[in-house]
Structure 1
Amino acid sequence: MPLRVTFLGTAGAIPTTERNPSSVFVAREGEELLFDAGEGTQRQMMRFGTGFSVSQLFVTHLHGDHVLGIPGLLQTMDFNDREEPLSIHTPHGTRRQLKSLVTTLGNRPSFPVRIDEVGDGDVAYRAEEYEVRAFETDHDTRSVGYALVEDERKGRFDRERAEELGVPVGPEFSTLHEGDPVELEDGTVVRPEQVVGDPRPGRSIVYTGDTRPSEATVDVVDDPDLVIHDATFADDRADRATATAHSTARQAAEIATRAGADRLALLHLSSRYAGYTADHERQAREVFESAAFVPDDGDQLEIPYPDG
């Protein structure tokens, strides 16, 4: 089942000619989610071919570089005759402000828009096989991060062992794999644990938005497949990172290492670094031994299953 991340906007507060403000698009088996929507997000979605069938929009905080794309995005959806509802999730205490932003031009979308407030530990969205959890972040305004966490999957079915036990090829295999025992013609009962392995982990993605290094990012999920972390500054501006409630690339790598992450994407780069990202990647890799990288706008990443 595909799980694909598209980095629509990777810049910090001030966009550059190469980088748009913050936005990350996630597609999972036909369902499309959006995390933050900086200015021009709808154009990025056109440019990189994601489409506009987003069902859930997760807002980390209400700074302009994370939300100013919402009015334009909703208008584009309206022009495309959207009828499906859109749910927007936003930190506690910000619903009124976000509602004002949605209706800033005096027009209401023709499709339903629901705005929900979320806080640390809340399940912002529950789907059939995964959930999106909110967790506390450390920024200079009301803010949260989000973790997409898939449910555990069934263990592998051992067909060879099932046949050895006399289970006939057919629907009994599915019955056992679903967790129910099967009685054979001779009265023998074969139980699922005899032919089905241990549950297998799903995949997980952690997106911080803007934040200082935070313990909650480490704790929200064990061993995430991908951490997308604020890395506004390199080591040369570490003091500035602390003062403005952001992180350095090295600090992001320390958090990803402690979380047991498989990969680390460094986002929200300050415009002072323009197109030069070598220091960010080098400093992160000095700490994080797995794959740390600075994505460009439009880069896509497929997240495989841990046992795939």
Structure 2
Amino acid sequence: MELYFLGTNAGVPSLERNVTSLALRLLDERRSFWLFDCGEGTQHQILRSPLKLSKLECIFITHLHGDHLFGLPGLLSSRAYQGGDTPLKLYGPPGLKQFVQMALDLSESRINYKLEILEHEGGRIFEDETFRVEAAKLDHRIPSYGYRVTEKDLPGKLDIDLLRRHGIEPGPLFGKLKKGESVTTPEGRIVHPAEVLGSPKPGRVVTILGDTRPCPAVVPLAEGADALVHEATFMHDLAETAFTYHHSTARQAAEAARQAGVKSLYLTHFSSRYKYEDQLQQLQREAQAVFPNAHLAREHELYPVKRGGE
């Protein structure tokens, strides 16, 4: 599981940065990736990345402001030309379906894969055998949501020596035990997974927030997360400006990370006024004064989400 930032600028693109989009790479876990927001130019950013649209499984839109959304019609339209013929699920606030359908209908765009648009107003919006996604409303000028992605616990390691003493060699029976199924040895003895599996590996948690002022919903969404992605539009000397425009400062992002007990904080959604490296470093230092494990999100860099204890 890895974070890959495709856009980190707020409002409009700049010469240095694109507008908001973030990929959660799940190649080992699902052989796919999920996309969070899709600002203008996202598909161009993907072309410059190791990501392949044929592997895109889900898109989660935090809110309907253009810098988080305007790249969506183009990406959906051209996905098939890049080998994307598998079903795609698109999640986001009410109004997302109307926006997408109108853009595709008026442009007479044809999509030759199954596109399912699922509007939500928070709560548990996705769950299968490996992952769960929950959403909660934040504090922004329009409805904006944060997403908590939870990887379910993984089975512990098999005790190979013990299995061999039971007469079970590597093969299909190993797979069944890892899936939680009991198996029968060649001698007819039933072996239960609990007898031969170590302690489960705890799943990882990633919280990705849309635009927001500091608000009560942030800490529950981020509680104990291995990685928190939080906007840091301004430095704290512009806290009043941040409040006026329903955004957060780097210090406020760090305070949320500290309160939630997260392991790593990634700052993104930087105002265009911060053009130069020394200005970005000031944002990072401001956050690190409160939460030392704070990082600037860099476009086209991979950030592994480590499991607890790794």
- Report the TM-score, using the length of structure 1 for normalisation: 0.87
CA distance in 1 between counterparts of 2:76 and 2:179 reads 42
Cα 1:192–1:52 shift into 2, 3 Å? closer
User: What per-residue deviation string (whole Å, max 9, x for no partner) do you get for residues 83-108 of structure 1?
Assistant: 32322111135432343234452434
Say if 1:149 and 1:203, in contact at 8 Å, map to a contact too.
Answer: yes
**% identical aligned pairs:** 35
What is the CA distance between 1:130 and its match in structure 2?
A: 1.1
Letter in 1 for 2:8: T
Where 2:149 maps in the other structure, the secondary structure is strand
Q: Number of paired residues?
A: 302
CA distance in 2 between counterparts of 1:190 and 1:79 reads 49
User: What per-residue deviation string (whole Å, max 9, x for no partner) do you get for residues 27-66 of structure 1?
Assistant: 2121121111101001000112312121211111110000
CA distance in 1 between counterparts of 2:106 and 2:209 reads 27
Letter in 1 for 2:63: H
What corresponds to 2:285 in structure 1?
A: 282
CA distance in 1 between counterparts of 2:87 and 2:190 reads 48
Cα 1:296–1:192 shift into 2, 3 Å? closer
User: What per-residue deviation string (whole Å, max 9, x for no partner) do you get for residues 10-40 of structure 1?
Assistant: 0000211010000001221211211111010
What is the CA distance between 1:70 and its match in structure 2?
A: 1.0
CA distance in 2 between counterparts of 1:142 and 1:101 reads 21
What corresponds to 1:12 in structure 2?
A: 10
What corresponds to 1:52 in structure 2?
A: 53
What corresponds to 2:25 in structure 1?
A: 27
CA distance in 2 between counterparts of 1:298 and 1:153 reads 29
Cα 1:65–1:184 shift into 2, 3 Å? closer
Letter in 2 for 1:212: R
CA distance in 1 between counterparts of 2:267 and 2:62 reads 16
CA distance in 1 between counterparts of 2:57 and 2:190 reads 45
Q: Which runs of 5+ in 2 are unaligned?
A: none
The aligned runs of 1:200-279 (5 Å cut-off) are: 200-220=201-221, 222-275=223-276, 276-279=279-282
Letter in 1 for 2:169: G
Cα 1:67–1:170 shift into 2, 3 Å? same
Letter in 1 for 2:5: F
Where 1:277 maps in the other structure, the secondary structure is helix
CA distance in 1 between counterparts of 2:96 and 2:73 reads 16
Where 2:214 maps in the other structure, the secondary structure is coil
Say if 1:264 and 1:292, in contact at 8 Å, map to a contact too.
Answer: yes
2:149 paired with 1:148: yes
Q: Which runs of 5+ in 1 are unaligned?
A: none
Say if 1:71 and 1:104, in contact at 8 Å, map to a contact too.
Answer: no
Cα 1:221–1:248 shift into 2, 3 Å? closer
- Report the TM-score, using the length of structure 2 for normalisation: 0.86
Cα 1:185–1:88 shift into 2, 3 Å? closer
CA distance in 2 between counterparts of 1:159 and 1:4 reads 30
2:117 paired with 1:115: yes
Letter in 1 for 2:286: Q
User: What per-residue deviation string (whole Å, max 9, x for no partner) do you get for residues 227-275 of structure 1?
Assistant: 1111111111111111111111111111112222111110100001112
Where 2:156 maps in the other structure, the secondary structure is coil
